[in-house]
Chains A and B, each alone.
Chain A
Amino acid sequence: MIFLTIGTHEPFDRLVRAVDGWAARHPDVGLFAQVTPGGFQPRHMAFAHRLAPADYRARMDAARLIVAHAGMGSIITAMDRQRPILVMPRRGHLGETRNDHQWATVRRLEGTPGILVADDADALLARLDALAEGGFAGAQSLPPIAPYASDALIAAIRAAVFS
């Protein structure tokens, strides 16, 4: 099962269309998508507009691969659940989000174990094809992360709150 998520704030047609097209060519692979009500609606995948947080995590846990926009909510949740994730950044100049912060995010994340980066739809489809050939065994899981923020950040906030 592949779980596609694009966040709830804005559509991301470029990613949804690419994955939907891939789904049409791979009827043997189960896919589920979380997409926004505005924007392209999938024709070859089951989808929902909003998922309750527990449902969202369950979908991530059940997925062999998560495909997502490069939003920190999706990325941090995938890291927390130790699920492999393939991200494609929204671009500011394409009006997909407010500026190019997602592009900067993926430049930082590149090379992190368990996080695959595709800069555009072509790269994404090539990556999906390669992973599918190996039955998604090649999708490396993320190592575990600490449950909370760094001690120093927590301490700084506590100092302000309790002073």
Chain B
Amino acid sequence: MDRRPRVLAISSTGGHWVQLLRLMPAFDGADLVLATSDPAARADALAARAARGEAAPGFMTFPEANRWQKARLAAQLLRVAAILIAVRPDAIVSTGAAVGYFAIRLGRLMGAKGVWIDSIANVEELSMAGRKVAPHAHLWLTQWPELAEEGGPDFRGAVL
């Protein structure tokens, strides 16, 4: 690629977000937009980029939702679509949860490459969103070598 790629790094709050920020060196040299469900995370997002000596990232938010909150998931999906249209990323990187599946699934329709890193908390089996995203992700990763297999996610390392 001749120009700087534009990356959307998106995840739920909590452990998913903590793990996403530990991936910051992966985005050096790219234009970056960070997205999560907690508006108060903006300061951390800016600080994480500044620590890399990189240009300030965009920061966007979306409503939080889990698999049992169908109406909230619908609102989240619509918001993810709006974020994708605004950002037009070349690549989407997510540590989960469902929001990452939405972003990678929809982003693929726009020609974006999806990178899924299943949470380090999923020690014994891949997350549900991680299983569903498989056919749509360009790079599909687990953080536990025992979960890597033929026809399954790859293992390339962990956030710790």
Contacts and interface: CB of A to CB of B under 8 A. Distances in A.
Given A149-B157, A153-B23, A160 B138 contact: yes
Contacts of B59: none
**Main secondary structure on chain A at its contact with chain B?**
helix
A148 B123 contact: no
A105 B122 CA distance: 8
A150 B145 CA distance: 14
Interface string B10-21: 000111111100
A161 B7 contact: yes
A71 B121 CA distance: 7
A158 interface: yes
B160 interface: yes
**Most chain B CB within a 10 A radius of its CB, from A72, A101, A149:** A149
B160 A145 contact: yes
A104 B5 CA distance: 37
A160 B17 contact: no
Interface string A86-103: 000000000000101110
A158 B124 CA distance: 27
Contacts of B124: 100-101, 104
Contacts, number: 127
A158 B26 contact: yes
Contacts of B1: 162-163
Interface string A65-97: 000000111111101000000000000000000
Given A101-B124, A105-B123, A147-B22, A153 B157 contact: yes
Interface of B: 1, 5, 7, 13-19, 22-27, 29-30, 38, 40-41, 43-44, 64, 66-67, 90-91, 93, 113, 115, 117, 119-124, 138-139, 141, 143, 154, 156-160
Given A71-B15, A79-B160, A149-B22, 16 more contacts: A9-B14, A50-B38, A53-B38, A53-B40, A73-B13, A73-B15, A100-B124, A105-B123, A148-B23, A148-B159, A150-B157, A154-B26, A157-B115, A157-B139, A160-B113, A161-B115
25 contacts: A8-B38, A50-B40, A54-B43, A71-B14, A72-B15, A72-B119, A73-B13, A73-B15, A73-B16, A73-B18, A76-B159, A77-B18, A98-B67, A101-B124, A149-B25, A152-B156, A153-B23, A154-B25, A157-B115, A160-B91, A160-B113, A160-B115, A161-B7, A161-B90, A163-B1
Interface of A: 7-9, 50, 52-54, 71-77, 79, 98, 100-102, 104-105, 107-108, 145, 147-158, 160-163
